[in-house]
Amino acid sequence: MKTILVPTDFSSQANNALDLAVQIARKSGAKILVINVIEGLRDFSFNTMGEAENDAAEEVFIVRKLIDQVKLRLSEIVNNEGYADVSIESAVEMGNAFESISKVIADHDADLLVMGTKGTSGLEEVLIGSNTEKVVRYAKCPVITVKDRVKLGEIKNIVFASNLQDEQTELVKRLKIIQEVTGATLHLVKINTPNHFSTQRQMMKEFSNFIDKHDLSNASTSIYNEATEEDGILYFAEDLGACMIAMGTHGRTGILHLLSGSIAEDLVNHAQVPVWTLSQKRRK
């Protein structure tokens, strides 16, 4: 792991994400890139002297002041004495948050994205969604979302919910990296629901084949019965305690996404523990 990206809006959730990223960087030796995305501003035309067109001069002045303020706040993060033992850089991006984050991931070949989320529920969740959900759905690197402050050393268990059927070689390869960093036990769990039920004998064989195929170590297997997969994963994690939840997300869009939903994205909204995800779009 070489580069960890942390988007920040300077909220408490973003600060919690940065704090976790710093802990991971200390264990892995990775550098951290903190970015702030300034949204909702139009492009400006500048002449060869760097001066804006007259009708935009006042707005450009305001934008420049805003950028200066953001850079100042980012510099306070970079120069924080508590992070002196970690390599931290910062950057300001302009434009759409999701597109800017995606571009930075590609430009810097980021190995991990850690971001804070407030979570949503009810009508807000259905109608609005969030940049976090878009990033989780499409990001080309693993994403860890956090709400509260997390101590890396207290993550003793990683709950990995999988159907064990899809091709997941890349996902498991990346997941083993964060398992190594945390030293946590990997818990493979199958959630039995009334509509998707598997027998004990069937699952034991599938678990064994999956562990052998991916050469997993420090791993356990469980079957958990619940009304829905999402509730089953959340309750299983609560029962274990000291958890991170890990899942692949399908990256579906449009009507298919609205009809089928995404358990991974729902967990990002509702789980109080960190959630590790990797988009499976175009990975099969």
DSSP calls for 94-133: ES-HHHHHHHHHHHHT-SEEEEE-----HHHHHHT--HHH
**Is 224 exposed, middle or buried, given 0-12, 13-18 or 19+ CB atoms closer than 10 A?**
buried
Helices (H), 9-118: 12-28, 57-78, 97-108
3-class SS at 193?
A: strand
- Which residue, among 266, 259, 208, 255, has the nearest Cα to 233 in the 3D structure? 266
CB 233 within 8 A of CB 191: yes
* pLDDT per residue rounded down to tens, the chain (284 residues): 999 999 999 999 999 999 999 999 999 999 999 999 988 665 555 444 445 555 567 777 888 888 999 999 999 999 999 999 999 999 999 888 889 999 999 999 999 999 998 865 544 434 334 677 788 888 999 999 999 999 999 999 999 988 887 788 999 999 999 999 999 999 999 999 998 888 889 899 999 999 999 999 999 999 999 999 999 999 999 999 989 999 988 755 444 433 334 788 888 888 999 999 998 875 44
pLDDT at 13: 92
pLDDT at 150: 95
Give the span between the Cα atoms of 192 and 233, in whole angstroms.
10
Give the span between the Cα atoms of 221 and 26, in whole angstroms.
30
* Virtual torsion, Cα 52, 54, 58, 62, nearest 10 deg: -10
Q: Quick one: tokens of 237? A: 């994690």
Q: Does the model's pTM come out above 0.75? A: yes
